[in-house]
């Protein structure tokens, strides 16, 4: 059970890290269930790639503008600079991107971008395509059905992890541990995330005194089809608005221009708040009108959206699509340095959505997340290979805390409702304090470890939201005294 590197998560960040680790290293990737049960696989948007060095400066500025100037400039610069090498690498390795009839790469534009610089693969199936591509190039061991339930940390070193398999718990040890476990979607009643995303590892970081930062910065995707019985809602990609789809209310009005001169192409936090107000405060139904596309174009460019909506008897684009916001992405996370190391640790890394790298600031620019996973996965791999740490052999005892108890599932649903209604798109001091009380009461109950971990992260989100007195980016407060 001794490895050179253990990677927690098999989404784009974890797979990118594995891709750039030498094949002679003993590397183990862990994923809770199947590798495609991750946010990467469900990503409908594309991948941002600046077109040239001139566009790099503009991409940096667009990212910082969308992030409400709360970004780490050096992290954003690193993201944009490294994108050129990454793009060449995946193209040279056979990754297929959408092209026109002359073979030129098709670039799309989404909200917050000054120009078209987003590539797609298979229309709205870019996440599935890049995930499949990375899995097909994986040269290390992947362990499915392995849920991490503890981090084995002493002082500034991580020695390994405790894993729950179908039959038992066991410890896996390594010289380097990489967290690539995704965000916090499972905390919300309405979200677009894979069902495996539940913030467990964030809480394990907190248990060991590590910092979570910007946890109040939660992005809600403006356009999700929420009239479905599942917690994970059908995402309606922003690329549709880039193609000219309009957002209207019951009266047929394009109300977004009342909130921002960019209308449908304003950054996500602005669009999500506008739709939320229109639907939940003014009582108007809200729709995405994609009639600018004919059916043939729609199916060719957005095959996954078309199939998903067809399953709910929505015949797009001839029918208007009922939409509402849903939780989508966490800008905050485990605080890291530019090289991927968790702040204060010698051999523990965090990459992708679970990390607070500083790239996204207070609001993520559309299609920057897949790029972040590719870039910072590679950076973490390079740091590991330039940081030849060898942990002394240790044997940790495995905690006997019960993972799940009767009643936990019901309380998880209560937590999701609290987080959606009181810590969602529009917040107030009253709603946040009420949410905090509810979370603290649940934490006092006879509950299992995994629910306790969720409650720890929920409390951290609420506390950080209360501590930020003024609205900023995705953190929007409706009263001045919050």
Q: Return the active site residues.
A: 268
Burial group, residue 103, by CB count within 10 angstroms (0-12, 13-18, 19+) = exposed
Question: Which of these, 218, 236, 47, lies nearest to 131 by C-alpha position?
Answer: 47
From CA 120, how far away is CA 372, in angstroms rounded?
16
With tokens 């667009």, the residue in question is 62
Angstrom CA distances, 27 to 18, 328, 336, 410, stand at: 8, 30, 22, 37
CA atoms within 13 A on the CB side of 85: 10
336 DSSP β-pair partners: 342
State whether residue 379 is helix, strand or coil. helix
Cα gap 465→434, rounded to integer Å: 13
Q: Is the separation of the CB atoms in 94 and 100 below 8 Å?
A: no
Cβ atoms < 10 Å from Cβ of 141: 12
Question: Would you give the DSSP letter of residue 130?
Answer: H
Q: Which residues contact 212 (CB under 8 A, 6 or more apart)?
A: 202, 205, 206, 332, 333, 334, 335, 356, 457, 460, 464
Q: What angle do CA 436, 282, 241 make, to 5 degrees?
A: 90
The pair of structure tokens assigned to 74 is 């050096």
What is the helix, strand, coil percentage profile of the chain, to 5?
35, 20, 45
Contact status, residue 231 vs residue 191, Cβ threshold 8 Å: yes
């Amino acid at each position: 059970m001794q490895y050179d590197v253990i990677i927690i998560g098999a989404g784009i960040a974890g797979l990118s890290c594995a891709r750039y680790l030498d094949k002679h290293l003993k590397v183990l990737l862990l994923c809770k269930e199947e590798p495609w049960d991750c946010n990467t696989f469900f990503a409908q948007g594309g991948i941002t790639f600046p077109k040239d060095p001139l566009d790099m400066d503009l991409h940096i500025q667009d990212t910082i503008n969308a992030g409400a100037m709360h970004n780490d400039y050096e992290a954003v610069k690193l993201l944009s600079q490294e994108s050129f090498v990454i793009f060449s690498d995946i193209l040279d390795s056979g990754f297929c991107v959408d092209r026109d009839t002359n073979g030129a790469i098709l670039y799309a534009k989404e909200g917050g971008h000054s120009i078209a610089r987003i590539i797609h693969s298979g229309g709205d199936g870019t996440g599935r395509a890049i995930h499949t591509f990375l899995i097909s190039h994986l040269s290390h061991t992947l362990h499915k059905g392995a849920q991490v339930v503890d981090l084995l940390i002493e002082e500034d070193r991580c020695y390994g992890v405790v894993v729950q398999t179908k039959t038992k718990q066991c410890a896996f040890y390594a010289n380097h541990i990489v967290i690539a476990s995704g965000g916090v979607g499972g905390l919300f009643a309405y979200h677009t995330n894979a069902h495996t995303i539940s913030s467990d590892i964030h809480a394990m970081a907190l248990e060991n005194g590590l910092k979570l930062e910007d946890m109040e910065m939660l992005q809600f995707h403006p356009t999700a089809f929420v009239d479905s019985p599942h917690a994970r809602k059908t995402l309606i990609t922003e690329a549709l608005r880039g193609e000219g789809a309009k957002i209207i209310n019951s009266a047929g009005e394009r109300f977004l221009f009342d909130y921002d001169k960019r209308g449908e192409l304003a950054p996500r936090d602005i669009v999500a708040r506008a739709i939320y107000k229109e639907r939940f405060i003014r009582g108007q139904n809200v729709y995405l009108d994609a009639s600018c596309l004919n059916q043939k174009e729609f199916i060719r460019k957005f095959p996954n959206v078309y199939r998903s909506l067809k399953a709910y008897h929505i015949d797009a684009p001839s029918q208007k699509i009922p939409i509402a916001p849903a939780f989508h992405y966490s800008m905050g996370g485990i605080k890291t340095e530019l090289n991927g190391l968790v702040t204060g640790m010698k051999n523990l890394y965090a990459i992708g959505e679970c990390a607070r790298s500083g790239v996204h600031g207070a609001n993520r620019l559309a299609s920057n997340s897949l790029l972040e996973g590719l870039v910072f996965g590679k950076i973490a791999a390079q740091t590991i290979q330039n940081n030849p740490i060898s942990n002394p052999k240790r044997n940790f005892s495995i905690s006997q805390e019960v993972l799940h108890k009767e009643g936990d599932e019901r309380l998880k649903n209560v937590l999701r409702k609290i987080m959606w209604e009181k810590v969602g798109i529009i917040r107030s001091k009253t709603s946040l304090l009420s949410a905090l009380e509810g979370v603290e009461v649940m934490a006092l109950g006879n509950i299992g470890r995994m629910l306790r971990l969720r409650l720890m992260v929920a409390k951290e989100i609420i506390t950080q939201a209360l501590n930020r007195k003024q609205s900023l980016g995705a953190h929007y407060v409706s009263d001045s005294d919050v």
